[in-house]
Chain A
Amino acid sequence: MTFGQLPYDMAHVLGGGMLLVSFVLLYQRRTAALVNALALQGTLLAAAAVWQGYVQGAPQLYVTGMIALAAKGIAIPVFLHRLMRRRMPDRAIEPARGIGLSMLGGVMLVALAILVVLPVTTGAQALARENLAIALSIVLLGMLTMLTRRSALGQVAGLMTLENGLVLAAVGVTGMPLVIELSTAGLVLVIIVIAGFFARLLQERFDSLDTDMLHPHRGEGP
């Protein structure tokens, strides 16, 4: 399989698209756009998983894709959007500095990932090698996002990117066991972090974790 053949090209473009979205996550400062980018990445991951399932003839990957689409493409972004709108109307822009520098670091990480993967995987299938390199890049970029972003949302974005990269690596390897379990476990982790984020948000706003404090604010429009 190489360039010019559809199975390869589609996987290549989907993985590359996820990589591009990871850079958008590093670059973007507007929180709404950040969440949209996360949704896009989740959707792309779902498409990549489904495509791999089709190419490898592995139906369990369809399940992985569906989980990714439902949770990362739709549910989590919708939840985050609502949270943003209701709880942080004044924080449309995240104070992130040194964007140029973090982008530069991101490109270096990708180069590093490529330089690591290329010699290690000699002899493997070209598609798997490339998939692995892109997945590793996405994982590293997720870590970088977590490092450079101060806000809780940035942390969530970084973690989700990281987890997306791991799932992408898993779906790309033919015959990998427990892919569904892995993606579910990752998802649970993300949800836990979001719950923590929510809790912290509450604390920031009301100096308490008591949800009863929220009741007087019910019905407060954006």
Chain B
Amino acid sequence: MLQAFGSLITQLLHVALILAVAPVLVGVVRWLKARLMGRRGPHLLQPWRDILKLLRKRPVMAETASVVSQATPYLALGATALAAALIPSFAQGMLLAPLADLVLIGGLLALARVCLALNGHDAGTPFGGMGAAREMTFAVFAEPALLVCVMVLAVLAGGSNLDAIAATLREGAVGLRISLLFAALSLIAVMLAENARIPVDNPATHLELTMVHEAMLLEASGRHLAVWEMQAALKLTLWFALLAAIFIPFGTAPAGGGPLAWGIGLALWIVKMGVLALGLAFFESAIAKMRVFRVPDFLGGALLLAVLAAALIFFSMGLA
């Protein structure tokens, strides 16, 4: 009973936490990047302020836009939020943990991506269509990379349930495995592409020809833009949480652990997210954006790295 109650409470707290943290995380990454470049940087809550301001504004839609422009933001954010709700943050064994299948999470992200691409098409402007085509092309390489990484993890945990995988890796019985390192690198590359970060896309760009993610949102305004901004922030948080849950799963609290254990888990989770944000800021400051037609090479490399990880893990299984 306590267990069931705890799982419900942790689930609700988790959803509230991740929704509240998402824009702050974007603010943290922006601030860190600004500091690394010698600027003072905006306030950490600036993304939240932007979103709230956008919500107050009247949306202006293109004359050619249809109901798609109005519906897709909510659907995309809903799908992303559902995916985020499945990925453990401070506690494991939450209410939805049995549903937390990595293939499903990939599917929900694909749903959000397709919504975004359709939104890009809706106004019938050149940049929107171009951005949509590029986004879907990148996904062609990113999705199989994610799936093969899931296979690597499933070899260790027996299945593709995220909670089971995190539990297996937390116990530490798998040891230091190079295949996990390869899978982590591959997932990081996928994360960069999915979140439109450098070197795949530039989140701060204002040059239409080079952008992908922003190009699809050019015609969005008001609350629609606010929802899209929230979706992007939530997606970044989701990916960080996913990487943390798989590769640094230590210190999460059991769902029935009570407030103290949850508090420790929360503190550790915030530290993990901070480390990942710092890593991303360093990486983005150190590296240049690549040409669009070089991106398939980059993501194809990620896919092959994942396949290599799978080959190595089969090999170590064959040794045992």
Instruction: Mark A residues whose CB is within 8 Å of B.
Output: 2-5, 8-10, 12-13, 15-17, 19-20, 23, 27, 99-100, 103-104, 106-107, 110-111, 114, 118, 126, 129-130, 133
Residues of A within 8 A of B174 (CB): 3-4
Q: Are B311 and A16 in contact (CB under 8 A)?
A: no
- Contact string, B124-149, partner A, CB cutoff 8 A, digits 1/0? 00000000000000000000000000
Residue among B172, B181, B301 making CB contact with A103, cutoff 8 Å: B301
Q: Which of B54-62, B80-88, B199-207, B302-310 is the contact stretch?
A: B302-310
Q: How far is the CA of A10 from the CA of B297 in the complex (A)?
A: 31
Most buried by B among A10, A16, A20, A130: A16
Q: How far is the CA of A5 from the CA of B172 in the complex (A)?
A: 11
Residues of A within 8 A of B38 (CB): none
Q: Are A107 and B308 in contact (CB under 8 A)?
A: yes
Shortest CB distance B236–A (Å): 26
Q: How far is the CA of A15 from the CA of B320 in the complex (A)?
A: 18
Shortest CB distance B183–A (Å): 12
Q: Are A23 and B296 in contact (CB under 8 A)?
A: no
Q: Are B312 and A100 in contact (CB under 8 A)?
A: no
Q: How far is the CA of A27 from the CA of B177 in the complex (A)?
A: 23
Q: Are B304 and A12 in contact (CB under 8 A)?
A: no
Residues of A within 8 A of B179 (CB): 16
> How many residues of B sit at the interface, in one of the four size bands?
20 to 34
Q: How far is the CA of A128 from the CA of B178 in the complex (A)?
A: 16
Shortest CB distance B289–A (Å): 15
Q: How far is the CA of A13 from the CA of B182 in the complex (A)?
A: 11
Q: Are A114 and B319 in contact (CB under 8 A)?
A: no
Q: A103-B300, A110-B311, A114-B311 are in contact. Are A130 and B173 (CB under 8 A)?
A: no
Q: Are B304 and A103 in contact (CB under 8 A)?
A: yes
Q: List 29 A-B contacts (CB under 8 A).
A: A2-B320, A3-B175, A3-B176, A3-B177, A3-B316, A9-B176, A9-B177, A12-B176, A13-B176, A13-B178, A16-B178, A16-B179, A16-B312, A17-B178, A17-B181, A19-B178, A20-B305, A23-B304, A100-B300, A103-B304, A106-B304, A107-B304, A107-B311, A110-B308, A111-B311, A114-B318, A118-B315, A118-B318, A130-B316
Chief secondary structure at chain A's binding surface: helix
Q: How far is the CA of A16 from the CA of B93 in the complex (A)?
A: 33
Shortest CB distance B196–A (Å): 22
Q: Are A16 and B182 in contact (CB under 8 A)?
A: yes
Q: How far is the CA of A114 from the CA of B296 in the complex (A)?
A: 27
Residues of B within 8 A of A110 (CB): 308, 311-312
Residues of A within 8 A of B308 (CB): 19, 23, 107, 110
Q: How far is the CA of A2 from the CA of B320 in the complex (A)?
A: 8
Q: Are A129 and B181 in contact (CB under 8 A)?
A: no
Q: Are A12 and B178 in contact (CB under 8 A)?
A: yes
Shortest CB distance B28–A (Å): 29
Residues of A within 8 A of B178 (CB): 12-13, 15-17, 19-20
Residues of A within 8 A of B312 (CB): 16, 110, 114
> Could you tell me which residues of chain B, from 150 to 192, have a CB within 8 Å of some CB in chain A?
172-179, 181-182, 185
Q: Are B297 and A23 in contact (CB under 8 A)?
A: no
Q: A23-B308, A118-B318, A130-B319 are in contact. Are A4 and B175 (CB under 8 A)?
A: yes
Shortest CB distance A22–B (Å): 11
Residues of A within 8 A of B318 (CB): 114, 118
Q: How far is the CA of A9 from the CA of B311 in the complex (A)?
A: 17
Q: Are B315 and A100 in contact (CB under 8 A)?
A: no
Shortest CB distance A127–B (Å): 9
Residues of A within 8 A of B177 (CB): 3, 9, 12
Residues of B within 8 A of A99 (CB): 297
Q: How far is the CA of A3 from the CA of B176 in the complex (A)?
A: 7
Residues of B within 8 A of A126 (CB): 319-320
Q: A13-B181, A100-B297 are in contact. Are A5 and B175 (CB under 8 A)?
A: yes
Question: Closest residue to B182 on the A side, CB-wise?
Answer: A20
Shortest CB distance B179–A (Å): 8
